[in-house]
Every structure is written in C-alpha cells, then in structure tokens.
Amino acid sequence: MQEDGVCTACKQGTLVKTTVRRMNGFVVVVGFILLVASVIGVLFGGLGAALSNYLAKESKRSPQEIESELRGLSVSEPLIQRILAGQQLTSAELSELNQQQQMVVAKETIVVMAKKAPSDVDVGASGLVLFTSLAGVSVVVGIVGWLFIRKKWVFLCTKCPAVVPAT
Ligand SMILES: [Zn+2]
C-alpha cells in the first residue's frame, strides 16, 4: 500500500490520486452514444406510454359520451355525426371551429379511429406495452452506457507510468 504516497516502482515519484476511465476511448464514445440514445428512448417511451394510457382510457367512453361532449361545445350536428362515423373533417370544416372545439374534435377523431381498429387489437393497451418496453429497454441501455464511461480511482505516479488501483 502507498500510504506515504511514494511510488514503489521507481521509488522517486509521488502517487497522486485521480480518476481515469475504466474503458478505452472507443468504448467510452460508444458509452456516450448509448447514454444519449437511452435518454431519448426513455423520453419517447414515457411520452408514448402516457399517450397510450390516455387513449386506452378515452376509448372506453361510449359514442354517447363523445357525442354529448361535442354537443356541449356546440359543434354542429352534421359534423358530430361525421366524427362518430370515423370520418376526418376537412380543413375548411375545421377552420370554422374555435380552438377549443378543434382540440376536442381532433382528440375524438383519434379516439373513434382507434376504436375502429380490429376488435382484437386494443390500440391503447398495446401501445402502452410497446412504449413501456421501449422505456424499459432504454433504461438498460443507459446502464450499459454508464458502465462504459464510468471512471475509477487510481494512483498515478508523477515520474513513471505506474498505475496503482485505489482500493
Ligand atoms: Zn513511479
């Protein structure tokens, strides 16, 4: 042990405690790329999971509930029927709506379209599984990336190339 800080290899240099990368330069670069990919994956996965969760909840609403919400915002009857039929409104039709109406109409159009997907496919639920998995995989990728760029404490000699692990 080098309690006194003198290098045992050259008996001249002083040992200085410092941090170095555990891996070589290429692995460290890969590690940083993995970390960035991980952050993007977690954000994207989290956002997608939140949206899927919302869609899963929304799609449980009955057409009557959607209808009454649109009526409550004074969306005209022909438009309500088209939305419930799963038709997309034209941009001309949308431009006649106010901003609040547009937002609800956009939301309900997506909900109705999601409902129209094959009955054995629950868009919200499968999206939730997909995006949650993506976020989970991204966390694992991030841990690997962190292992790649991790530093360790060592003693470096000021005179010779001796490297002594700090324990
Ligand atoms: Zn030395």
Distance (angstroms) between ligand 1 centre and the Cα of 5 equals 10
Residues lining ion ligand 1 (Cβ < 5 A) are 7, 9-10, 13, 157, 159-160, 162
**Count: domains in the chain:** 3
DSSP 125: H
Question: Rounded to the nearest 5°, which phi and psi values hold at 163?
Answer: -125, 120
pLDDT (0 to 100) of residue 4 = 58
pLDDT tens-digit series, residues 105-161: 888 888 888 777 666 667 788 888 999 999 999 999 999 999 999 999 999 999 999
Distance CA 82, CA 109 (A): 9
The whole domain housing 73 covers 62-117
Q: 106 and 127 share a domain?
A: no
Beta bridge partners of 165: 154
How high does pLDDT run on average in the chain? 87
**47 has a pLDDT exceeding 90:** yes
Q: 84 and 164 share a domain?
A: no
Distance (angstroms) between ligand 1 centre and the Cα of 155 equals 10
pLDDT tens-digit series, residues 88-101: 888 888 888 888 88
Q: pTM for the whole thing?
A: 0.62
Q: How many CB atoms lie within 10 A of CB 109?
A: 19
Q: 113 and 68 share a domain?
A: yes
Q: 111 and 81 share a domain?
A: yes
